[in-house]
Structure 1
Amino acid sequence: MKDLIPTINEIIKFGLYPSLSETNKETLLEKNLIKIYSLYFDITYTFDKAKYPDFNKKQFRNVQKNVESNFKDFGFYKIILDIQNIDGLQESALGDAIDDLSDIILDLLEIKWRINNNSLNDGLWYFKFIFHAHTQEHIIGLLNFMKQKNT
């Protein structure tokens, strides 16, 4: 798990700092999103029964604004609601790459905060929980958007 925090840091910087002057931002983001996705499969922890304070997302109010400044060509995209329903080709919804990355960053900020402020086990438990429940879908949607945007 030595790669977890450095990988989180490589992704969250796009929500913490506006208008970063990094070259190949999208390639760097894609690489680290895939790395986070891969790290999920290696998570092992012992459930920590201790009571800890809650993470305060309000301290990160500028995440979406900073993401917008770092990825100016990110925007809306179409999602097929049920990919297995071949007859229901009209059943689609709207996705948002800015929202995807903002949500991913907020999830990763909480994982990092729990590791640094609560315990390693609490942070890893939360990673396992939030990835399956929320982050994974945003990563898949964002990676698909990035792939299709660049083809």
Structure 2
Amino acid sequence: MEKLLNIINNITKYGLESNIVKKENDLEHNLIQIYNSYFQYNYNFDDSEYSKFDNSNYQNIQENIKSNFPEFGFYNVVLNPSNIVNPEVEIVLGDAIDDLSDIIIDLLEVKWRLENNSYNDGIWFFKFIFKNHTKSHILGLLNYLNEKNNL
């Protein structure tokens, strides 16, 4: 669990602190590490009633991300890229700042649950939120970083 918390801390620092020096390569490395972590942890379902995570203490996340990554911006996303039968391609707008903000908030809740509720509750939430929310933001942000650096 300590390894997972370390990876979480290495990502969330970009939303909790401003003007960090070591950035893009470190972020990319840790995004890949958290993606890989999804496959490494298991849990036993914990049906205990716990208090809820309060994210109201994290109002400055986007401002800190902008401070740390002033070059982050919007990018294009193709919806349903695997649907090659339909020649109509729908392109929507992605936002690297929003992606990282959502990833950080999700991971802060994972960390909070691990530290305040139980290991099983924390890993359950990690697996649930990763599959249903965080994963798409990580993939979008990694693709953005790749494309941005290849220009």
| Superposition TM-score, scaled by structure 1 size | 0.95
**Following the alignment from structure 1 to structure 2, what is the Cα–Cα distance between the partners of residues 100 and 76?**
10
- Superposed structure 1 runs of 4+ greater than 6 Å apart: none
**Following the alignment from structure 2 to structure 1, what is the Cα–Cα distance between the partners of residues 49 and 30?**
31
- Offset at residue 49 of structure 1 (A): 1.0
Q: Which residue of the partner structure matches residue 56 of structure 1?
A: 54
**Following the alignment from structure 2 to structure 1, what is the Cα–Cα distance between the partners of residues 41 and 127?**
7
| Offset from partner CA, 1:43-83 (integer Å, 9 cap, x none) | 20011111001001111011111111100000000000010
Q: Secondary structure at the match of 1:143?
A: helix
Q: Which residue of the partner structure matches residue 117 of structure 1?
A: 116
Taking structure 1 as reference, are residues 45 and 92 closer, same or farther at Cα in structure 2, changes over 3 Å only?
Answer: same
Q: Which residue of the partner structure matches residue 19 of structure 2?
A: 19
Alignment counterpart, residue 67 of structure 1, candidates 65, 68, 80: 65
- Give, as a single letter, the amino acid of the residue that structure 1 aligns with 2:142: L
1:3 aligns with 2:8: no
Q: Which residue of the partner structure matches residue 130 of structure 1?
A: 129
Contact 2:79-2:89 at 8 Å conserved across structures? no
Q: Which residue of the partner structure matches residue 81 of structure 1?
A: 79
- Give, as a single letter, the amino acid of the residue that structure 2 aligns with 1:11: I
- Offset at residue 84 of structure 1 (A): 1.6
Q: How many residues get paired?
A: 149
| Superposition TM-score, scaled by structure 2 size | 0.95
Q: Secondary structure at the match of 1:3?
A: helix
- Offset at residue 89 of structure 1 (A): 5.1
Q: Which residue of the partner structure matches residue 99 of structure 2?
A: 100
**Following the alignment from structure 1 to structure 2, what is the Cα–Cα distance between the partners of residues 33 and 114?**
20
**Following the alignment from structure 1 to structure 2, what is the Cα–Cα distance between the partners of residues 15 and 58?**
14
Q: Secondary structure at the match of 2:2?
A: coil
In the alignment, structure 1 segments of 5+ residues that lack a partner are none
In the alignment, structure 2 segments of 5+ residues that lack a partner are none
Q: Give % identity.
A: 53
**Following the alignment from structure 1 to structure 2, what is the Cα–Cα distance between the partners of residues 142 and 81?**
15
**Following the alignment from structure 1 to structure 2, what is the Cα–Cα distance between the partners of residues 48 and 93?**
38
| Offset from partner CA, 1:69-117 (integer Å, 9 cap, x none) | 1000000000000102334354110000000000000000000000001
